[in-house]
Structure 1
Amino acid sequence: MKTTDIIGLGIALIITFGYFAYNFFSSRTKHVEKEVVSSNNGVFEKIEEENLNAMVLFGSQTGTAEDFAYRFSTEAKSKYKFANSTEDLDDFDFTDMDKLDPSKLLVFFLATYGEGEPTDNAESFIELIESEDTIFSSGNGVEDRPLANVRYAIFGLGNHTYEHYNAMAKRVDSAMNALGAQRIGPIGLGDDAAGLLEEDYLQWKDEVFPEIAKVYNLKEVREEYKPLYDVIEKPDISSESPTVFLGESSRQQLKGIVSKAPPSPANPFNSTPVVSRELFKNDTRNCLHLELDISGSNMKYQTGDYVSICPMNPSQAVDELLDILGLKDKRNMVVIVKPFNPLDKLPILSPTTYDAVFRYYFEICGIISRQLIFLIAPFAPTDEAKNELTKLGSDKDYFKANVADMHLNLAQVLRRVSSGIPYTKLPFSLLLENLGHLKPRYYSISSSSLSCPDKVHVTAVVDRKEWVDQNHIFYGLTTNYLLAHCLHQNGELTPHPNNLQYTLEGPRQKLTGKIPMFIKRSTFHLAPPEVPIIMVGPGTGIAPFRGFVMERAHLASQGVKVAKTILFYGCRRSDTDFLYKEEWDTYKNLMKDSFELYTAFSREQDQKLYVQHRLLQQSALVNELISAGAWFYICGDAERMAKDVTNALATILTTVEEDGAKRIKSLRDENRFLEDTW
């Protein structure tokens, strides 16, 4: 073969190889790009691709709004055959929303976080629709009303004790209306502070469903319950199989892969408590102090942030529910859960076990919803039980008196109603569709990020409430879980004071001595050191203020001049529940005259003395500091304490020229009046 032929053949081979290589890598690049795009589809694109009638979208911080969204979605499918999908607001690009036609519906479930702020996953959406320079294409031909073809419904989750009550729902409603969109039905405003969130939701959905049915010509389908999920028992698979979820929060965790994603509910950091102790303990209550190690987590916090604890349900609650459902002997049975409609998302990780479902994945200790009671009624084991469940589920006042007021959970209601006869005919799918997911609980961090950068401190009273006449006790889920960790770490052989047991070793015994947690940002932050501050926090409301004072004391020890730092603290008695009593003199020695502590011990005199009384006694000082630019903080009980303190401050700030309430409004607007209440 000639040299020129060899060269030509070589060039041809290179070109051929290059061609196939280009196509191979090009196709892979396109595939990756397609995956990236599909993970952030436009809302119009999603609805068209899956031929949906509606999308139910949630902006959720703790998971409550998400649970309500799924419940609404489930009922829309089963009751009206209204095809829809439930989605996270953060997963979609809404810039094509103006392409929607009136045959499609958007349903929003929006929680308000902090001082009227959007949840993390709703930030982009609210920024888009409130933008002055709209980017919608106005394809409908109406330039000033680009969303004139869009129809929507909206339910908000808020807390009336905050000034910006349900701000997100109201803001989205206002912005959508300004863009020409048409709301169907009333705006729902759920109030978590009044304990009526469930009833607010039920009232709203009972009003909005008929409106949706009228607009879209839907007929209510009255038929027997049809499950959304196929639950397949697999006795041939061992619960110890490495493919079975036993409480792991993600597929990565199941496979033992260390995720590089920031810690979150789906990817918590398993922290070791380096210190845990009881600050006080008596016959009715006790208070815990824990210090959680976050070194190696890549987590950082600001003083005033929250630590989010991911709890588990106690063994007693799991046993009681499995027993009343007739599943106790099947607790370790492996089950595979599959949606009958492939477009429906699974509510749990699968395969798993009955025990894991109730121990790690669902809320089973909280008050059962009235709607779920009504749905369970047809599957009651006796006619008497069916009639009682129907009454509880349909009569709001009867439900309140016999369930809500006593904080009865699912197992407790079922057992009382049936006298212990198990509900063996109850479809497991019905529970998967309607139970809320087990959510993290937030606690104000009680340490300073400057002095304790690798540890977060938690201060929490262990919750317990007893109804002696009903032989019933309600236990706080997470605080009792933390107490179990405290006892375990200190090697105490005595049983849990509330006789609760927890599988602290966790799934596959990989969590022994560790607490799943992550950091949640807060707007309740410390003012710069040159700004005076006034803090009011009785009981465990002192938690963030301990961090504030600790930080200013640390700065003072570094030679930084700190402004006046005033703390009003209240508890019952100075010798029993005075939190961190031994620390305040240390901070005083470091801060000198910059720090002042005013205490109110409510039960040490004939007439009860509270923090608002101490505040009024120091009216001149408070007025002087507010006039000098001080920030005012309140942390603790929302219903009584926060209102009383706010009223006391209004009295202090009232002058001949100006009303005190208006001055507080000005302080709020300037972000100088901050509340962290519950």
Structure 2
Amino acid sequence: MDWEYALFASIILGALTWCYFKGKKPNPPSLPTEEPTETLGRLHIYVGSQTGHSQKLAEILAQEATKYNFSPHIIGLDLFQILDFKKNDFCVIFCSTQCDGNPPPNAAKFLKWVTKVAKASHDDLSRLSYCVFGLRKSSHSEIANVTAKTINDSLAKLGANQIIRLGDSVEDDVEEFNKWKNELWKVLPSIVKASRRSQIPSSEFLEVAHNVVLTPPNSKIVYEDSSQTMISSLEFPVLKIKELKRDPKNSALHVEMETSVPYETACNFGIFPENDEELVRELAALQDYDLELTFQFLPIQGKKHPFPTPLTVGEALIKYCDITSLVRKKTLKNLASFATNPDEKQELEFLASLKGKDEYRRVIEEPMLTIVELFKRFSSLKIPIGALVQVLDRIQPRMYTIASSSKLHPKSIQIAVEVLRQRTCEGKIRTGLCSGYFEKMHVTGLYKPIRGFFKSSAFIFPPQPVPIVMICNGCGVAPFRAFLQELKYLATQGEFYPESIMYFGCKNKAGQFVYKRDLEAFIIPSEHSPGEFEHRPEAWGEGPHVLKSLYVASSRDQAHKIYVQDLISSHHDSIWDLISNKGCYIYVCGSSRMGKAVGDLIKNIATEHLGEDSTEFFKKLCSEGRYAIELWG
């Protein structure tokens, strides 16, 4: 009977097993799942535009942004909100410039904030990464892209991080916009992805090899923009330096250099100054650097190098690293991790933070603290040379408008250099890097070749004989000295321009009358009594004479201050006659305050005669190159 029970049990167990598997549905085969696309969030695109060209480019960029998984949001700069802007991690800014050098009306509010308000309140934009694209009317005007450049530079000064180079094109140059746009899409998505996934430490640098053989740099390496310009610049031997102004508080130098390269009269000349060797030795002593040590950056694919290597530590600090400017918050933030003293590290981090803006102003900004003085104050701050040269900013070129005619002086270029001096809250005097560079050559008599490059300026000499009106103050007279030399040369060739007039402003004639003797030699002799503020030499120079009248406004030579714009105002009718009936060219060079006052005055004169049509008339003057300005400060 046992076998019957066993058989019965087997039947029951088999039945139960069959029922179990019949009721259980098998799982479907697993299909490969597609990795979800990473959303990169909202990309704010700000637009400053008057004619709509910048708006069109912004719309093209926004359309492409969706392909890269961004959610684009276009905002007119007139709708700009400070708090919203400061929350951005990434943004793109398109902004055009009017032909008179002013921003479009809808960008005025933003420009005021980024250049003045944010600076005054010490806003910290170190979390923001940005890029700027500027549109200009004409390729002939250097000032035409001034709004975009001002925005770009001002954001950098506030600690923001520039993603790619400043874009710059004329309104109809789609090719340049496409190049810039493609550069942006190559880097922006990866930057945003990296920032979304993890914090990139600020101490992430290129690796450095020491004690390397000094060989030519790798030709395939890509460098930062300023270094690339430096590499492609040429060497110009200095021939002569002489004093132009004898005021120790506000001196100026005339510098003459040899050139084998042709240049345009009154074009711009960019100069790469060098740091003072004594200052470099002081920095090296504080950090225990060997200035003769050679080093080389090890390449990382897709990462730009600060400058060409291999080279010595001394050469890197002298030629490439800015050690004389105010230490920026971004630099402090990068340096903090190298402080071995916990208290000093904490203080550096606080100075670099938004909360520490008042302390930053007191400790860094007001005394104009440089990197050398920072090392003295924070003695535990020890940073490897390979990291320091990457933390420091690059030396930027200083631009000067050439003061000589290429026709009269084809083998030399001449510039006027204002020696910049600032007094700190502690009473120390800070001298500008480039002007101090030339001043030391002048004092020691030890001239060394400088590295420089030519660049077109806003001042294009009139293509046909027409009246020329030159308005300037201080060293702004430089390009007009070049123009007068050009007129003199043309006169010797039998080509005469009908009329040239200069309005020059300075503090006092005794010490601030730049190129006084040179200008006097150009004045056309006259037996008539000079008009009010018209300058005449004690003796007439040798011809040919090409300057009909020279009017000088000296603000400190009398109780009532008189400026260049006052002279223009007093010659209201004759100026308008030159503009409207004689097709004159007007050039303005000097301080931005003077330039703005003169520009407003010319516009007012046009308005009095043309009414509402004056706006279009003035735009036409600018577009034709008949009203050109180069200003600074």
TM-score, normalisation: structure 2: 0.66
Identity in percent: 23
Secondary structure, counterpart of 2:230 in structure 1: coil
- How many Å apart are 1:666 and its aligned residue? 3.5
Partner residue of 2:246?
281
Partner residue of 2:407?
450
Secondary structure, counterpart of 1:322 in structure 2: helix
Partner residue of 1:268?
233
- How many Å apart are 1:428 and its aligned residue? 3.9
Aligned partners of 1:244 and 1:334 also within 8 Å: no
Partner residue of 1:485?
441
**Runs (4+) of structure 1 moved beyond 6 Å?**
101-105, 144-148, 156-161, 165-168, 211-215
- How many Å apart are 1:557 and its aligned residue? 2.7
Aligned partners of 1:633 and 1:673 also within 8 Å: yes
Partner residue of 2:313?
354
Please say if 1:470 is aligned against 2:426: yes
In structure 1, distance between residues paired with 2:339 and 2:254: 44
Partner residue of 1:313?
275
In structure 2, distance between residues paired with 1:552 and 1:280: 25
- How many Å apart are 1:536 and its aligned residue? 1.0
Cα deviations by residue, 1:27-60 (Å, 9 ceiling, x for unpaired): xxxxxxxxxxxxxxxxxxxxxxxxxxxxxxxxxx
Please say if 1:379 is aligned against 2:318: no
In structure 2, distance between residues paired with 1:300 and 1:362: 30
In structure 2, distance between residues paired with 1:486 and 1:159: 39
Aligned partners of 1:227 and 1:429 also within 8 Å: no
- How many Å apart are 1:618 and its aligned residue? 1.0
Please say if 1:392 is aligned against 2:357: no
The equivalent position to 2:483 in structure 1, one of 540, 548, 561, is: 548
Deviation larger for 391-400 or 308-317: 391-400
Aligned partners of 2:344 and 2:380 also within 8 Å: no
Partner residue of 2:376?
415
Q: RMSD across aligned C-alpha pairs, in angstroms?
A: 4.2
In structure 1, distance between residues paired with 2:505 and 2:202: 53
Q: Which residue type is aligned with residue 304 of structure 1?
A: A
Cα deviations by residue, 1:155-175 (Å, 9 ceiling, x for unpaired): 5799999336799945579xx
Cα deviations by residue, 1:198-251 (Å, 9 ceiling, x for unpaired): 24562888xx9xx979985953524766533222333xx6xxx6x268xxxx67
**Structure 1 pair 623–405 and aligned structure 2 pair: CA distance change class (3 A):** farther
In structure 2, distance between residues paired with 1:366 and 1:473: 13
Secondary structure, counterpart of 1:668 in structure 2: helix
Gaps of 5+ in 2: 1-36, 73-90, 112-130, 137-146, 164-183, 220-227, 525-542
Secondary structure, counterpart of 2:395 in structure 1: coil
The equivalent position to 1:163 in structure 2, one of 94, 102, 106, is: 102
In structure 2, distance between residues paired with 1:611 and 1:401: 37
Q: Which residue type is aligned with residue 233 of structure 1?
A: H
Please say if 1:596 is aligned against 2:596: no
Cα deviations by residue, 1:113-148 (Å, 9 ceiling, x for unpaired): xxx9xxxxxxxxx9xx98xxx9xxxxxxxxx97887
Gaps of 5+ in 1: 1-100, 117-125, 135-143, 174-188, 253-262, 490-503, 505-511
Partner residue of 2:126?
none
Aligned partners of 2:586 and 2:626 also within 8 Å: yes
Secondary structure, counterpart of 2:269 in structure 1: strand
In structure 2, distance between residues paired with 1:470 and 1:220: 46
Aligned partners of 2:488 and 2:545 also within 8 Å: no
Q: Which residue type is aligned with residue 485 of structure 2?
A: M
In structure 2, distance between residues paired with 1:614 and 1:198: 39
- How many Å apart are 1:274 and its aligned residue? 2.5
Count, aligned residues: 480
**Aligned pairs for 1:62-211 within 5 A:** 149=67, 154=92, 162-163=101-102, 169-170=132-133, 192=150, 196-200=154-158, 202=160
The equivalent position to 1:221 in structure 2, one of 194, 198, 207, is: 198
In structure 1, distance between residues paired with 2:237 and 2:162: 43
In structure 1, distance between residues paired with 2:96 and 2:215: 37
Please say if 1:606 is aligned against 2:569: no
Aligned partners of 1:102 and 1:149 also within 8 Å: no
- How many Å apart are 1:290 and its aligned residue? 1.4
**Structure 1 pair 275–203 and aligned structure 2 pair: CA distance change class (3 A):** closer
**Structure 1 pair 390–156 and aligned structure 2 pair: CA distance change class (3 A):** farther
Secondary structure, counterpart of 1:277 in structure 2: strand
Larger radius of gyration: 2
Aligned partners of 2:334 and 2:391 also within 8 Å: no
Secondary structure, counterpart of 1:219 in structure 2: helix
TM-score, normalisation: structure 1: 0.62
- How many Å apart are 1:195 and its aligned residue? 7.4
In structure 2, distance between residues paired with 1:548 and 1:588: 13
Please say if 1:665 is aligned against 2:619: yes
Aligned partners of 2:242 and 2:442 also within 8 Å: yes
Aligned partners of 1:332 and 1:354 also within 8 Å: yes
**Structure 1 pair 675–656 and aligned structure 2 pair: CA distance change class (3 A):** closer
Please say if 1:336 is aligned against 2:296: yes
Secondary structure, counterpart of 1:282 in structure 2: coil
Secondary structure, counterpart of 2:196 in structure 1: coil
In structure 2, distance between residues paired with 1:563 and 1:104: 63
Secondary structure, counterpart of 1:513 in structure 2: coil
Aligned partners of 1:537 and 1:569 also within 8 Å: yes
Partner residue of 1:365?
324
In structure 1, distance between residues paired with 2:39 and 2:575: 58
Aligned partners of 2:268 and 2:457 also within 8 Å: yes
Cα deviations by residue, 1:602-632 (Å, 9 ceiling, x for unpaired): 1100011111111111111111111132222
**Structure 1 pair 562–662 and aligned structure 2 pair: CA distance change class (3 A):** same
**Aligned pairs for 1:621-640 within 5 A:** 621-628=574-581, 629-638=583-592, 640=593
